Amino acid sequence: MNLASRTVTSPPRQVVRAVLHEALESKSGGEVVVKSTSVSGRIFVVERKVAWTVLTGPGARSFSTALIDARLVSREDVEQVMSECRKNGGNFCETLVAWGLVERDTLRDLLCQHLGGQLDALLGLTEVQALFVPQPRSYSSQMTFKLEELASPAQPPSEAPRLEVPQSQVPPLLLEREAMANVKQALEEALKIDGAFAVCLADAKSGMTLGSAGSAGFNIEAAAAGNTEVVRAKMKTMQLLGIKDRIEDILITLGEQYHIIRPLSTRDGLFLYIALNRASANLAMARFRLAELEKTIQV
């Protein structure tokens, strides 16, 4: 996989915008991974348009929360739609429209506003890293946007806003603090497995990393994002073959490393991804320990 990565301390808007333009010009599409000292995010690009953004950190909130805050849907509505999407792989926004919960034009306007706000926040980060991960994917919705529909015009470095949200206005984080602490503890324990040097918990649907730990010299988040297609392809193949079973784990054997993907049995769509040095790893023990750690994760 060809990955393009850039790191700068200033000016922030130019580097993120440049990598995003690279993604938008790519025929294959993919995602732009953005990370600063306090906030990170992902921008998903399909057919040279922005399809979705994910922002994590103080002040971040999901689109479903925005819908609830706007009193367009209830929390119960969101849970039912998400459950349906997990079952059939449907698109969240398209399902909302199909169920008659929100009018398409209203939903598109709110989505444009939400994605635009998140994108503007990512473009305004300082001490930022930006990585383009080419990743062809289909997208079952026409609610995609050109960059000029979402992002504010580029500003001089001195005028680039910082992502600062008054403490009194900070909405709930994407994960509750207790869940984040639980995930962090599980990942730290995973690093104690013989040979382990990087591990993360990722979402197979979006490629988003919910938590990571380990070597700064190995981009475990990019590895997990790239291998979401492996998980999806295996699940699709099982459906085609009529195999009614769950994936226990997927092993990728490299010359000097083992990579193990272990989907969570307790949370559909999430998986652990761990990288180990072959020279010092005991594969059987690593799989056993990972299976035990999976049981401790609560998200």
What's the token pair of residue 145?
């946007």
- Mean pLDDT of the region 115-136: 85
Q: What is the pLDDT of residues 141-159, one digit of tens each?
A: 889 999 999 876 654 444 4
Helix (H) or strand (E) holding 52: strand 49-56
Tell me the pairing of strands 40-46 and 196-203. unpaired
Structural domains in the chain plus CATH codes: 4-153 (no CATH), 177-294 (3.30.450.30)
Helix H segments across the chain?
12-25, 63-69, 75-88, 92-98, 104-123, 147-150, 177-190, 220-226, 228-241, 283-294
Length of the chain: 299
What is the spatial distance between Cα 104 and Cα 117, in angstroms, rounded to a whole number?
Answer: 20
Q: What integer pLDDT is reported at residue 20 of this predicted model?
A: 92
Q: What is the pLDDT of residues 178-226, one digit of tens each?
A: 566 678 888 889 999 999 999 999 888 777 888 888 876 888 888 888 8
Higher per-residue confidence, 170 vs 249 = 249
Q: What integer pLDDT is reported at residue 59 of this predicted model?
A: 65
Q: Read off the pTM.
A: 0.52
